Amino acid sequence: MPDNTGFLPLTWPDMLLMAPELLLGVGFIALVVLDLFLPRRISRSWIGGLTLASLLGAALLVWLRMNEMNVGAGDAGVLSLLGDSYRIDDFGSLMKLIFLLGTALVVLLGLGTASRDDAITDKGEYYYLLLPAAIGAMAMASSANLVTLYIGLELMSMTSYVLVAMRRRNDRSAEAAFKYVVTGSISSAFILFGMSYLYGVTGSVQLSGIGQALPMAVENYEAFVYVGFGMMLAGFGVKVAAAPFHAWSLDVYQGAPTPVAAFLTVVSKGATLAVVLRILYSTGLFAAIDASGKGVGDDMFFAVLLVAAIAMLVGTLAALRQLNVKRLLALSGVANAGYLLVPIGLSITMVHSNNVTELIFYLAAYLLMTIGAFAVLTVVSRAVGHDELRGFAGMYYRAPWTAAAMVIFLLSLAGLPISGGFFGKLFILLGAANAKAYWIVAAMVLSSVISYYFYFGFIRQMFMRGGSEERITIPPAIGIVIWFCAAGTLILGVYPELLVEGIDAVFSFQGDLMNVE
């Protein structure tokens, strides 16, 4: 496949294929204009509502496209556009559905909190800036070209920088945004540096083109291939907040508005993971071996697993002494980045190739439990005025049902039955054992046990400590988020086949991820 060096115009059929992304783009521009001309006295919640509507509309379009592509038996195939730099395939569509759902829940969270948060001055922006961030995440999930991928990443990152700084009257928010800009830029630099090496040795920015040239490149420039992939891994490691590249996440989450922190933990992380998976598989790296027969791919996969193991252990160990809930959830996000990296790093074998199902399942479970926990946090921190763990004291008396929902999220985060988190972790564990990576099994189980301590720290506060007896009222928007997430977590815990079958019905490894045509 020759590289298309010139720019290709976007044709009408292409636009139809990109309808979900375009809908969000149009919605974004419309909302910017609307926000400008809407009189001040009109509540910006309307803009939040419209943002929500366009996200759900985009999700519907993605869903329809995915269904249309999977009519009848056989391989769903791939629709590629713009010179095969953008792919509409089932992997991308599944990921997009997760991102859109996550972003929609974040908007709902914002609707429940922003109107009462005086530190947020631009309440309209707070909602519609999530749209370009979502477009970026979707572009990342669909890209088959390093440049497209980078543009998607930057679109998502740039808007996130602004979103983190949204609480303009709060010093921490500004500090967090600045730290995020600096670290984010460094990670972008790493990624670009790695990409440039890959381009240098393969002569292509297309993932498929890189794949074709990779055997030759490995033969002649093995060290450069390592540097290229290694640098990219480090850069993406920063974006998913996997240890040892996670230090930024604590300050950023703490300073950012809680819904934005939820967006960063779930959507931003998920999109980056999708990209890592695509790069490792679409370039055929997993099959690359050098002249001596040593697997270059194996080394890279091992590196991913190593980062995963470090992230799990560092995340859980550091969280043991953490008393600020946002920082605690940031560290929990570090550990979970580790769990999510495991199916990516396992590579595929003859007997075990459902890595993507494991990844998507755990990502969905992670989305529900984390956004649920953040939703409870918004309620609690508004009632007590801070984000410390002791703010949860006496939740049993103040809001018993919300405390019960939080128990579900915590059990799921700790990987205890009956919850989506339990099955998600179990699937990954079984996969790892099936691929004979026993050490990662041990690391996962060990870090899960350590994590009991701080997840149950919430339960200690909520059920065993007394506090104010005053009832906490829950805004309806947040109530919807909490109960949607709790119900989803329970359903995934009792009937996980629902999602597993859904994924398996549409996703095919060779058709969707590899470039087998």
Partner 1 sequence: MSILSDIPVLSILLLLPVLGLLVLLLIPKNRHRAITAVAVVATLLPIVLSLWLYTDFDKQQGGATYREDAVWLEVPVNHEWTQEADIIFSFDYSLGIDGLSLPLLLLTTVVTAMAALAAIHVKKRRKAFYAWFLLLEAGMLGVFMARDLFLFFIFFEITLVAAYFLIGIWGYYNRERTANQFLIYNGIGSALMLIAFVLLVNTAGFRMEETARGLEMIYSGSYADILRNLADPNAWVNLPGAAAGGTNPFEMSGGMAWTIFVLLLIGFGIKLPIFPFHTWMLKVHAEAPPAVVMIHSGILLKMGAYGFIRFGLLLFPEQAREWAVALATLGLINLLYGAVLAFRQTEFKLVLAYSSISHMGIVLLGLAAFNEIGLQGAIVQLVSHGFISALLFLIVGSLYERTGTTELPALGGLARSMPFMSGMLLAAGLASLGLPGLSGFVGELLSLLGLFESMRWVTAAAVLGIILTAAYMLRSVLGITFGERREEHAALRDARFVEALPMIVLLAFIVLLGCYPSVLTDTVGVSVEGFMDQLFATRSGG
Binding site for partner 1 (CB under 8 A): 348, 350-354, 357, 411, 416-418, 422, 426-427, 429-431, 433-434, 438, 441-442, 445-446, 448-449, 452-453, 456, 459-460, 463-464, 495-497, 500, 504, 507-510
Q: Which is nearer to partner 1, 13 or 417 (CB)?
A: 417
* Least gap, CB of 317 to partner 1 (angstroms): 14
Q: Tally the residues of the chain.
A: 517
- DSSP string spanning 262-289? HHIIIIIHHHHHHHHHHHHHHTTGGG-B
* Least gap, CB of 412 to partner 1 (angstroms): 12
* Least gap, CB of 338 to partner 1 (angstroms): 16
* Least gap, CB of 430 to partner 1 (angstroms): 6
| Range 463-498 burial, b when 16+ CB lie within 10 A, else e | beeebeeeebebbebbbbbbbbbbebbbebbeebee
CA distances from 92 to 25, 45, 240, 365, 508 (A): 18, 31, 18, 18, 12
Determine contact, residues 315/249, Cβ cutoff 8 Å. Answer: no
Q: Which is nearer to partner 1, 250 or 499 (CB)?
A: 499
Q: Which is nearer to partner 1, 40 or 321 (CB)?
A: 321
Q: Which is nearer to partner 1, 220 or 510 (CB)?
A: 510
| Range 122-132 burial, b when 16+ CB lie within 10 A, else e | ebbbbbbbbbb
Angle at 336 between CA 88 and CA 58, to 5 degrees: 30
The DSSP bridge partners found for residue 323 are none
CA distances from 186 to 190, 403, 460 (A): 6, 40, 40
* Least gap, CB of 6 to partner 1 (angstroms): 36
Q: Which is nearer to partner 1, 356 or 368 (CB)?
A: 356
Tokens of 47: 């803009």
Q: Which is nearer to partner 1, 97 or 513 (CB)?
A: 513
Q: Which is nearer to partner 1, 302 or 509 (CB)?
A: 509
3-state secondary structure of 83: coil
* Least gap, CB of 497 to partner 1 (angstroms): 4
* Least gap, CB of 406 to partner 1 (angstroms): 14
Q: Which is nearer to partner 1, 11 or 510 (CB)?
A: 510
* Least gap, CB of 489 to partner 1 (angstroms): 15
Q: What does the alpha-carbon distance between residue 77 and residue 70 come to, in Å, rounded to a whole number?
A: 9
Q: Which is nearer to partner 1, 229 or 361 (CB)?
A: 361
- DSSP string spanning 100-118? HHHHHHHHHHHHHHGGG-T
* Least gap, CB of 480 to partner 1 (angstroms): 22
Q: Which residues contact 296 (CB under 8 A, 6 or more apart)?
A: 218, 222, 225, 226, 285, 288, 289, 290
3-state secondary structure of 431: helix
